[in-house]
């Protein structure tokens, strides 16, 4: 059973299709990135998953249950939308204590101490939240969302409006949730670099439809046979060099690329140094060697377009 299952989900508002036949799954323990421009339908999807909106068609399950009708399953889910759900007039510890009472957390004092340490706010535990920076509030909001130790947590744009330093702290915190707390993390985000760094799989939503869904490694080419680009000092050497490279036992293929480069597909991911040694040993002069891969941003723009493509 997956942590999240979405099958043929559609939803419209006022005759306008917001989601059309959306399908994807999220495995237990994954950090999953749900990507798309504003208006693509990401938040609508999450609200349907949480049981806050009814689907027009299709089926959704979280932890194998329908959260719209299953109170027990809802207790196993954590949520952080753009609003952190915190009171500026209460301290960090008091905010968490308030929610611990709502959630019925056992031994709340120990759990609160543990979470304040996790999010790096132990020294500010008694300070009013109104004095906190945006990044500190975001980290405390994440602590609030996981206070009751849910099996899955939904985070909606957790790095929105944060400076690069705060973004990194939130990114590291999300990874820690997956590792230490063993939670599944469902991440809505516009930050493609952030998603590529921390997510194991992603779905790209544009115009209400899923345009791509796979592991980050498969989408970016980081898995499977690596492709190495070799730029030679003398372009006239390409044909001879390609023949030498193709004969190597760890090379699956060699093709010319552009005016002076060769694209070498390796059957052994660790064979790049051996490739370079073979070329140098055959007296070829090399200007550059680099692993060829695509960024998540390139893949996103390919499916969404530079203008966003949102519905």
Give the span between the Cα atoms of 93 and 147, in whole angstroms: 12
Give the span between the Cα atoms of 225 and 108, in whole angstroms: 49
CA triplet 269, 214, 168: central angle to 5 degrees? 80
Across all residues in the chain, what is the average pLDDT? 90
The single-letter DSSP state of residue 183 is -
pLDDT at residue 311 is higher than 50: no
Read off the pLDDT of residues 81-94 as tens digits, 9 standing for 90 and up. Answer: 888 899 999 999 99
Read off the pLDDT of residues 244-292 as tens digits, 9 standing for 90 and up. Answer: 999 999 998 888 876 668 988 888 878 889 999 999 999 999 999 987 7
Please provide residue 12's backbone torsions phi and psi, each rounded to the nearest 5 degrees: -130, 155
Domains and CATH numbers, the chain: 4-220 (3.40.50.300), 227-292 (3.30.70.100)
């Amino acid at each position: 059973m997956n942590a999240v299952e979405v099958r043929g989900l559609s939803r419209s508002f006022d005759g306008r299709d917001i989601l059309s036949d959306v399908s994807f799954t999220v495995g237990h323990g994954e950090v999953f990135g749900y990507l798309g421009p504003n208006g693509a339908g990401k938040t609508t999807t999450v609200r349907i998953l949480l049981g806050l909106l009814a689907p027009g068609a299709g089926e959704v399950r979280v932890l194998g249950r329908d959260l719209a009708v299953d109170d027990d399953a809802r207790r196993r889910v954590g949520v952080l939308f753009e609003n952190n759900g915190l009171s500026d007039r209460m301290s960090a510890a008091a905010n968490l204590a308030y929610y611990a009472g709502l959630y019925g957390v056992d031994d709340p004092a120990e759990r609160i101490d543990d979470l304040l340490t996790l999010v790096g706010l132990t020294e500010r535990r008694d300070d009013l939240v109104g004095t906190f920076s945006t990044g500190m509030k975001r980290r405390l909001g994440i602590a609030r969302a996981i206070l009751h130790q849910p099996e899955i947590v939904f985070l909606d744009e957790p790095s929105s409006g944060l400076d690069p330093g705060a973004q990194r702290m939130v990114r590291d915190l999300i990874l820690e949730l997956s590792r230490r707390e063993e939670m599944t993390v469902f991440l809505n985000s516009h930050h493609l670099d952030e998603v590529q760094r921390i997510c194991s799989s992603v779905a790209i939503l544009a115009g209400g439809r899923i345009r791509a869904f796979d592991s980050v490694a498969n989408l970016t080419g980081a898995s499977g046979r690596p492709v190495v680009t070799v730029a030679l000092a003398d372009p006239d050497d390409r044909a001879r060099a390609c023949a030498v490279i193709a004969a190597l036992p760890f090379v699956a293929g060699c093709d010319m690329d552009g005016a002076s480069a060769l694209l070498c597909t390796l059957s052994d991911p660790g064979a790049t140094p051996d490739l370079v040694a073979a070329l140098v040993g055959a007296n070829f002069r090399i200007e550059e060697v680099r692993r060829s891969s695509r960024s998540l941003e390139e893949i996103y723009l390919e499916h969404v377009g530079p203008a966003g493509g949102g519905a």
